[in-house]
Chain A
Amino acid sequence: MDFRAFYDEHVALVWRTLLRLGVAKADLPDAVQEVFLVAYRKLPEFEGRSKPSTWLVGISYRVASDRRRLAHVRREVGDTGAVLARTDTRLRPDEIAEQRERVELLDTLLAWLRPEQREVFVMFELEELSGKEIADIVQAPLKTVFSRLRLAREAFSAALAAHQAEVSRVPGPPLAVRALAGKGHTP
């Protein structure tokens, strides 16, 4: 496998992970490039103790963290336009719209989580890394990881409940996006 094949195989994972970790869509190409650059340069240090995908999630985590620390990560409400590259063409338009809305909602709900909770939640629930792998990546004890996961789940559930309550109460544009826009929320 050459590096291009490796890139092709994992670019979707890196793209998705960075997005879920809060990297703005406009910054994604740069961030994805950065992850693969780091991967290329760190290859001699990669000892094969973990899967390449786990390794890349770890690099993505650090790239996203750096960008957040440097205030490069910004949550823009208009940034939630999800690209459904793998939309099933057999779906009806309303089903496609529903899928897109679901992806946007996921993004919005994640934005309500605290960064350290969000990271653990994304890695555990979305990328399905083990607690041990996450602990290695975030360099925290396993108990801390599980604690963050529990808090993240609670916050996620609460945000979803709030969204559902709002949708059922107020007609019009759904999603907590509206609340984010109205309150100037900056996760």
Chain B
Amino acid sequence: MKDPARWRDAKGGAGAEVQALLRSDRLEAPSDAERDRVWSSLALELGAPPPPPPAGPIATAGTGTLAIKLTVVVLAAATGAGVGWYSLHARDAQRARRPATARATSATATSPQVSPLMPPTTTSIEGPPTSPAPAAETGARPSSTARRQVAGRPSETRPTELGATKRDRRPLPESSHEPPSRSEPDDSPAARALGSSWGPSPWPTLAPAPSGEAHATGSASRVPPAQLATNELLDESRLLAAARAALRAHDPERALALLATARGTASLAQEREALTIEALAAQPATRAAAVERARALLRAYPQSPYRARIKALLAPSP
């Protein structure tokens, strides 16, 4: 069966007014700012968790900072991961030709704990213990649907633990040491049809980072430092989002428990500490500790974006 002539065509039989109307459709497009905004959010979704939902003044102040940090790190990792991966593979080939003792030395030297992307982890405020987050706690990648629901907007799907929805059926890599499957050359018909190999998209891994010893041996040394730094930051940002959600659910104990599992990424020190203070302040028994830590935070970060919120916590209750 043959298609009828389109109205746009001269043979379509539509009047000039209709043709002008149909042609006007192509004039509409997203602005550059809208394109970039959607892409930023999409990039986070593909390679990083969404920014944490706003929850009161603290979360509002933190969201922007966190989003900027994540965007910078993800973009840096996206460019760095490819180069790093290639160079590490090249190094593997070289190592195969070297004696075992030399390989061991090299493995220690390439410990990914030292990342060019990560600032020193020393801060003037002592954070909570830095044991790795249990995978069960952070094992779900929050979707945008979950983010919308957490943010108080209507959502059609019911999120499961920590916001996983039906949309997130893609299994995540078991270990952060395995390269994401996307980074492998895509020889699918789709890629061929697009005339391309799709760019690598390192999916964030949620498993806790191994200890320093593990970093220094075996496959751990193959993880590009930039990717590892990104993973750590992403894990921690997820943890903070979960803690924030627990706080909003009036469950400060759970928030504190989550925060206690944070590794202590320096980039998120303020966010982590502010949340800890808020959780402590939410319980009468620990309010004094909250005040103490709040004062310390203000001393350490006089210009903190959480300043107003922290000061409000310090004010005596009516």
Binding site for B on A (CB under 8 A): 1-8, 11-12, 15-16, 19-20, 28-30, 32-34, 36-37, 40-41, 43-48, 52, 66, 70, 72, 82-87, 99, 102-103, 105-106, 109, 124-126, 128, 130-131, 142-143, 146, 149, 153, 156-157, 160, 164
Contacts and interface: CB of A to CB of B under 8 A. Distances in A.
A149 B29 contact: no
B284 interface: no
A11 B45 CA distance: 16
A109 B25 contact: no
Given A2-B196, A153-B7, 18 more contacts: A2-B199, A3-B201, A4-B39, A5-B196, A6-B198, A15-B28, A33-B42, A37-B45, A47-B193, A102-B21, A103-B24, A106-B24, A125-B8, A146-B1, A149-B4, A156-B18, A160-B18, A164-B17
A184 to B, nearest CB: 22
Interface string B15-48: 0011011101111111110110111011001100
Interface of B: 1, 3-4, 6-8, 17-18, 20-22, 24-32, 34-35, 37-39, 41-42, 45-46, 144, 148, 154, 156, 170, 186, 188-196, 198-199, 201
A48 B42 contact: no
Contacts of A87: 27
A87 B29 CA distance: 10
Contacts of B18: 156-157, 160
Contacts of A45: 190
A62 B275 CA distance: 40
A153 B38 CA distance: 33
Which of A15, A20, A82 has the largest number of chain B CB atoms within 10 A?
Answer: A15
Contacts of A157: 18
Given A52-B193, A106-B22, A153-B7, A32 B29 contact: no
Which of B7, B148, B192, B195 has the largest number of chain A CB atoms within 10 A?
Answer: B7
Given A33-B144, A37-B45, A83-B28, A11 B3 contact: no
Nearest to A8: B35
Contacts of A30: 144, 148
Contacts of A5: 196
Contacts of A48: 189-190, 192-194
A115 to B, nearest CB: 18
Contact of A103 (B25, B42, B45): B25
A34 to B, nearest CB: 7
A83 B20 CA distance: 17
B38 A11 contact: yes
Nearest to A157: B18
A82 B46 contact: no
Contact of A1 (B17, B35, B189, B195): B195
Contact of A33 (B28, B41, B186): B41
B30 A83 contact: yes
A99 B25 contact: no
Contact of A99 (B3, B7, B27, B191): B27
Given A43-B198, A102-B24, A125-B7, A32 B38 contact: yes
Contact of A102 (B20, B188, B191): B20
B258 to A, nearest CB: 27
